[in-house]
Amino acid sequence: MSDTADLPPRCFPSAAAIVRIGEGLLACTLSREDWTHEAHLAACLYLLTERPDVDVDAEIGGLIRRFNESLGGVNDDHGGYHDTITRAYVAGVRLFLAEAGEGDLPARVNGLLASPMGRRDWPLRFYSRKRLFSVEARRGFVEPDLAPLP
Protein backbone atom coordinates (compact mmCIF):
# COMPACT_ATOMS: atom_id res chain seq x y z
CA MET A 1 0.00 0.00 0.00
CA SER A 2 2.71 2.43 -0.92
CA ASP A 3 4.34 2.95 -4.29
CA THR A 4 1.84 0.64 -6.01
CA ALA A 5 -1.24 2.59 -4.88
CA ASP A 6 -1.46 4.53 -8.15
CA LEU A 7 -0.80 1.66 -10.55
CA PRO A 8 -3.67 1.11 -12.97
CA PRO A 9 -5.59 -2.08 -12.23
CA ARG A 10 -5.03 -5.21 -14.31
CA CYS A 11 -8.50 -6.00 -15.60
CA PHE A 12 -9.95 -9.44 -16.26
CA PRO A 13 -10.74 -10.34 -19.89
CA SER A 14 -13.54 -12.82 -19.21
CA ALA A 15 -15.82 -14.45 -16.68
CA ALA A 16 -13.75 -17.63 -17.05
CA ALA A 17 -10.65 -15.78 -15.84
CA ILE A 18 -12.52 -14.61 -12.73
CA VAL A 19 -14.04 -18.03 -12.06
CA ARG A 20 -10.53 -19.53 -12.33
CA ILE A 21 -9.34 -17.14 -9.60
CA GLY A 22 -12.31 -17.72 -7.29
CA GLU A 23 -12.34 -21.48 -7.67
CA GLY A 24 -8.54 -21.57 -7.58
CA LEU A 25 -8.59 -19.87 -4.19
CA LEU A 26 -11.06 -22.46 -2.90
CA ALA A 27 -9.10 -25.39 -4.36
CA CYS A 28 -5.63 -23.93 -3.62
CA THR A 29 -4.64 -24.32 -7.27
CA LEU A 30 -3.45 -20.80 -8.08
CA SER A 31 0.20 -19.91 -8.43
CA ARG A 32 1.77 -17.23 -6.27
CA GLU A 33 1.92 -15.00 -9.36
CA ASP A 34 -1.84 -15.37 -9.82
CA TRP A 35 -2.57 -14.04 -6.32
CA THR A 36 -2.41 -10.31 -7.08
CA HIS A 37 -4.30 -7.43 -5.50
CA GLU A 38 -6.77 -7.66 -8.37
CA ALA A 39 -7.16 -11.41 -7.80
CA HIS A 40 -7.94 -10.85 -4.12
CA LEU A 41 -10.77 -8.47 -5.06
CA ALA A 42 -12.02 -10.61 -7.95
CA ALA A 43 -12.15 -13.66 -5.68
CA CYS A 44 -14.03 -11.71 -3.03
CA LEU A 45 -16.64 -10.39 -5.47
CA TYR A 46 -16.95 -13.84 -7.05
CA LEU A 47 -17.50 -15.54 -3.70
CA LEU A 48 -20.01 -12.91 -2.56
CA THR A 49 -22.07 -13.01 -5.75
CA GLU A 50 -21.57 -16.40 -7.38
CA ARG A 51 -20.97 -18.79 -4.48
CA PRO A 52 -23.81 -18.43 -1.95
CA ASP A 53 -22.64 -21.71 -0.41
CA VAL A 54 -19.53 -19.91 0.90
CA ASP A 55 -20.06 -17.78 4.02
CA VAL A 56 -17.47 -15.13 3.22
CA ASP A 57 -17.58 -13.51 6.65
CA ALA A 58 -17.00 -16.81 8.44
CA GLU A 59 -14.68 -18.48 5.94
CA ILE A 60 -12.50 -15.88 4.19
CA GLY A 61 -9.72 -15.93 6.78
CA GLY A 62 -9.39 -19.70 6.72
CA LEU A 63 -9.56 -19.81 2.92
CA ILE A 64 -6.74 -17.31 2.47
CA ARG A 65 -4.59 -18.81 5.24
CA ARG A 66 -4.96 -22.30 3.74
CA PHE A 67 -4.16 -20.96 0.28
CA ASN A 68 -1.05 -19.15 1.54
CA GLU A 69 0.13 -22.32 3.27
CA SER A 70 -0.47 -24.36 0.10
CA LEU A 71 2.18 -22.20 -1.56
CA GLY A 72 4.60 -22.71 1.31
CA GLY A 73 3.77 -19.33 2.81
CA VAL A 74 3.51 -18.54 6.49
CA ASN A 75 0.68 -16.69 8.21
CA ASP A 76 2.33 -14.97 11.15
CA ASP A 77 2.80 -11.56 12.75
CA HIS A 78 4.88 -10.35 9.79
CA GLY A 79 3.38 -11.85 6.67
CA GLY A 80 0.60 -13.81 5.06
CA TYR A 81 -3.04 -13.31 5.94
CA HIS A 82 -4.00 -9.89 7.33
CA ASP A 83 -7.46 -9.96 8.91
CA THR A 84 -8.19 -6.23 9.10
CA ILE A 85 -7.15 -5.48 5.52
CA THR A 86 -9.17 -8.44 4.27
CA ARG A 87 -12.29 -7.45 6.19
CA ALA A 88 -11.95 -3.80 5.11
CA TYR A 89 -11.91 -4.93 1.49
CA VAL A 90 -14.88 -7.26 2.02
CA ALA A 91 -16.78 -4.18 3.28
CA GLY A 92 -15.56 -2.26 0.23
CA VAL A 93 -16.67 -4.95 -2.20
CA ARG A 94 -20.09 -5.02 -0.57
CA LEU A 95 -20.31 -1.22 -0.81
CA PHE A 96 -19.38 -1.37 -4.49
CA LEU A 97 -22.00 -4.05 -5.16
CA ALA A 98 -24.68 -2.00 -3.38
CA GLU A 99 -23.86 1.05 -5.51
CA ALA A 100 -23.09 -0.65 -8.84
CA GLY A 101 -25.61 -1.26 -11.52
CA GLU A 102 -26.27 -4.58 -13.15
CA GLY A 103 -23.60 -6.14 -15.28
CA ASP A 104 -21.95 -9.39 -16.11
CA LEU A 105 -19.18 -10.75 -13.92
CA PRO A 106 -16.27 -9.12 -15.79
CA ALA A 107 -18.06 -5.75 -15.85
CA ARG A 108 -18.65 -5.93 -12.09
CA VAL A 109 -15.12 -7.07 -11.23
CA ASN A 110 -13.43 -4.60 -13.57
CA GLY A 111 -15.75 -1.85 -12.33
CA LEU A 112 -14.72 -2.68 -8.77
CA LEU A 113 -11.04 -2.54 -9.71
CA ALA A 114 -11.53 0.91 -11.27
CA SER A 115 -13.54 2.21 -8.30
CA PRO A 116 -12.25 3.86 -5.12
CA MET A 117 -12.95 0.58 -3.27
CA GLY A 118 -10.58 -1.23 -5.61
CA ARG A 119 -7.60 0.98 -4.93
CA ARG A 120 -4.63 -0.57 -3.18
CA ASP A 121 -4.71 2.19 -0.56
CA TRP A 122 -8.48 2.16 0.05
CA PRO A 123 -8.21 0.92 3.69
CA LEU A 124 -6.04 3.95 4.50
CA ARG A 125 -9.15 6.12 4.17
CA PHE A 126 -10.28 4.54 7.44
CA TYR A 127 -7.07 3.53 9.21
CA SER A 128 -3.82 5.22 10.09
CA ARG A 129 -0.79 3.31 8.81
CA LYS A 130 0.27 2.62 12.38
CA ARG A 131 -3.04 0.97 13.26
CA LEU A 132 -3.56 -0.85 9.96
CA PHE A 133 -0.09 -2.35 9.85
CA SER A 134 0.01 -3.36 13.51
CA VAL A 135 0.39 -6.98 14.59
CA GLU A 136 -2.99 -6.71 16.31
CA ALA A 137 -4.65 -5.72 12.99
CA ARG A 138 -2.95 -8.59 11.16
CA ARG A 139 -4.06 -11.16 13.74
CA GLY A 140 -7.69 -10.04 14.00
CA PHE A 141 -10.06 -7.30 12.97
CA VAL A 142 -9.51 -3.92 14.63
CA GLU A 143 -11.89 -1.00 14.33
CA PRO A 144 -10.75 1.94 12.18
CA ASP A 145 -9.23 4.97 13.88
CA LEU A 146 -9.86 7.61 11.17
CA ALA A 147 -13.40 6.94 9.92
CA PRO A 148 -15.94 4.12 10.20
CA LEU A 149 -16.01 1.47 7.50
CA PRO A 150 -19.09 1.54 5.28
pLDDT per residue as tens digits for the range 41-75: 999 999 999 999 999 999 999 999 999 999 999 99
Is pTM beyond 0.85? Reply is: yes
* Distance (Å, whole) CA 89 – CA 117: 7
Cα(first)–Cα(last) distance of the chain, in Å? 20
Over residues 87-112, the pLDDT tens digits come to: 999 999 999 999 997 899 999 999 99
* Distance (Å, whole) CA 142 – CA 60: 16
| Mean pLDDT (whole number) for 16-22 | 98
CB-based contacts of 87: which residues, under 8 Å, 6+ apart?
Answer: 60, 141
* Distance (Å, whole) CA 104 – CA 28: 25
pLDDT of 16 above 90: yes
For residue 4, the model assigns a pLDDT of: 58
pLDDT of 26 above 60: yes
Name the phi and psi angles at 88, rounded to 5: -65, -45
pLDDT of 135 above 90: yes
Question: Mean pLDDT for the chain?
Answer: 95
